[in-house]
């Protein structure tokens, strides 16, 4: 979760400056993983005396801890190592997908501390019931978090389809239209946890949050502009430009799964025909490979067959790779990202998917910058998942203004 650290100028009022500088120091320690006061001062551009005062406040209120000795990297004696605390405020992320619900709690460092996943077929189930199931899983996760002295301060829902204004406007594979997801989930969670403080709930498209998790926790090194695709039953996409998520004018950017490959192709649940999802989505892949069943078991069987060299399975994955490459080439020509990252079911299929996708990209990207094996098409990291991205999104608020989430003594 790298961030740009910019101290406020002298014209800002003292309280605003203090709150901003506390955020600067906390984020600097979080970004470094372990830092000294001198190291933080050098990073954020404040005096050592000012940083020491801010650090004392953050230690007092439990946002930072110190232990052992480490060299500061500067002249002088070693400084005390600072780390973000493993207890205190936390974020709760809830991913509701077509065939599973996954809940994650992260701490100030963005480390996943609790994870519960249940495989459920949510298709054809009333939205209120699906969100109530998710709330029950979330309630158990909250109990586990509190046993570790973690106290989630908010919830972010990762939802498939078109998400804006607290609602799922359309999720074709779930059959949802105009579903007030935040409201339904908040009511269900309150019902599951009566007597506990109500947590603020926000929502976002699941591919967007998976892309943010990849940005914050993945192995992208210095890549800050990339196109992220997640393959599940649906095919979702997200675009990150210079470290910021591009949502579009109405929050619906990234619906690459519904780019039309063939106008006369199979009917899609979105109402169109021949969408990419009908050629490279999970159901299409399993059908083409001759694999019965769906969900995790079907995907595991597909992976087993391609590893064994089963011709039908290998051919199905290669064809999906070609279709992905064709659609991605248009996106690359339009948006010029540094890389394309494939997540979800595509991650484990990359050894058989990448070559045909790369071939299409190489032949169709007009800049000539695309070359097979150059590392521009890559698998997502294990860390890149929507539930963790959702939980970490909650923590951006804490990091931006720790005073708002501190004990009364600090505020």
Q: Examine the pLDDT at 83 and tell me if it is beyond 90.
A: yes
Q: Examine the pLDDT at 73 and tell me if it is beyond 70.
A: no
Average pLDDT, the chain: 90
Contact 51, 76 (CB under 8 A): no
Instruction: Using a cut of 0.85, tell me whether the model's pTM lies above it.
Output: yes
Q: Examine the pLDDT at 199 and tell me if it is beyond 90.
A: yes
Average pLDDT over residues 283-303: 89
DSSP code of residue 255:
-
Q: Which pLDDT does position 180 carry in this prediction?
A: 98
Q: For residue 239, which of 369, 335, 377 has the smallest C-alpha distance?
A: 335
Q: Which two tokens stand for residue 181?
A: 């997801």
Q: Which pLDDT does position 387 carry in this prediction?
A: 96
Phi-psi region of 6 (alpha: psi -120 to 50; beta: other; left: phi over 0): beta
Q: Which pLDDT does position 321 carry in this prediction?
A: 97
Q: What's the pLDDT band for 409 if we cut at 50, 70, 90?
A: very low
Q: Examine the pLDDT at 372 and tell me if it is beyond 80.
A: no
Q: Examine the pLDDT at 173 and tell me if it is beyond 90.
A: no
- Looking at the DSSP assignment, which residues form a beta bridge with residue 176? 171
Residue with tokens 């992320």: 93
Q: Which two tokens stand for residue 158?
A: 């990762």
Q: Which pLDDT does position 43 carry in this prediction?
A: 92
Q: Which pLDDT does position 407 carry in this prediction?
A: 58
Q: Examine the pLDDT at 373 and tell me if it is beyond 90.
A: no
Q: Which pLDDT does position 9 carry in this prediction?
A: 54
Q: Which pLDDT does position 248 carry in this prediction?
A: 87
pLDDT tens digits for range 337-370: 999 999 999 999 999 999 999 999 999 999 888 8
How far is 85 from 66, CA to CA, in rounded Å?
9
pLDDT tens digits for range 97-139: 988 999 999 999 999 999 999 988 898 899 999 999 999 999 9
Q: Examine the pLDDT at 411 and tell me if it is beyond 50.
A: no
């Amino acid at each position: 979760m790298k961030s740009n650290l910019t101290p406020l100028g002298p014209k800002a009022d003292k309280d605003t400056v203090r709150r901003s500088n506390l955020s600067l120091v906390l984020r600097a320690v979080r970004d470094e993983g372990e830092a000294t006061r001198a190291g933080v001062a050098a990073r954020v551009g404040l005096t050592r005396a000012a940083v020491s005062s801010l650090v004392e406040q953050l230690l007092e209120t439990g946002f930072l801890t110190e232990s052992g000795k480490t060299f500061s990297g500067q002249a002088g004696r070693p400084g005390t190592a600072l780390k973000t605390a493993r207890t205190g405020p936390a974020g709760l992320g809830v991913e509701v997908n077509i065939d599973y619900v996954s809940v994650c709690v992260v701490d100030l460092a963005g480390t996943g501390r609790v994870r519960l996943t249940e495989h459920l077929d949510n298709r054809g189930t009333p939205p209120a019931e699906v969100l109530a199931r998710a709330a029950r899983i979330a309630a158990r996760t909250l109990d586990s978090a509190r046993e570790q002295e973690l106290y989630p301060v908010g919830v972010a829902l990762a939802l498939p389809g078109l998400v804006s204004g607290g609602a799922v406007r359309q999720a074709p594979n779930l059959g949802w239209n105009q579903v007030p997801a935040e409201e339904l989930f908040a009511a269900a969670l309150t019902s599951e946890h009566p007597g506990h403080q109500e947590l603020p709930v926000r929502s976002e498209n699941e591919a967007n949050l998976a892309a943010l998790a990849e940005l914050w926790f993945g192995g992208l090194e210095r890549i800050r502009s990339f196109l992220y695709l997640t393959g599940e039953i649906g095919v979702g996409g997200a675009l990150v430009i210079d470290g910021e998520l591009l949502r579009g004018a109405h929050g619906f950017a990234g619906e690459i799964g519904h780019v039309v490959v063939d106008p006369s192709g199979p009917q899609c649940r979105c109402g169109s025909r021949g969408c990419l999802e009908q050629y490279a989505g999970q159901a299409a892949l399993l059908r083409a490979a001759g694999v019965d069943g769906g969900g995790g078991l079907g995907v595991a069987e597909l992976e087993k067959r391609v590893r064994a060299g089963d011709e039908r399975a290998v051919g199905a994955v290669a064809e999906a790779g070609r279709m992905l490459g064709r659609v991605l080439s248009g996106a690359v020509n339009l948006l010029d990202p540094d890389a394309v990252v494939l997540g979800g079911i595509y991650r484990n299929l990359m050894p058989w998917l990448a070559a045909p996708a790369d071939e299409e990209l190489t032949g169709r990207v007009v800049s000539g910058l695309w070359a097979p094996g150059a590392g521009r098409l890559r698998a997502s990291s294990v860390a890149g998942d929507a539930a963790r991205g959702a939980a970490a999104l909650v923590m951006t608020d804490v990091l931006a203004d720790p005073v708002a989430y501190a004990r009364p003594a600090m505020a």
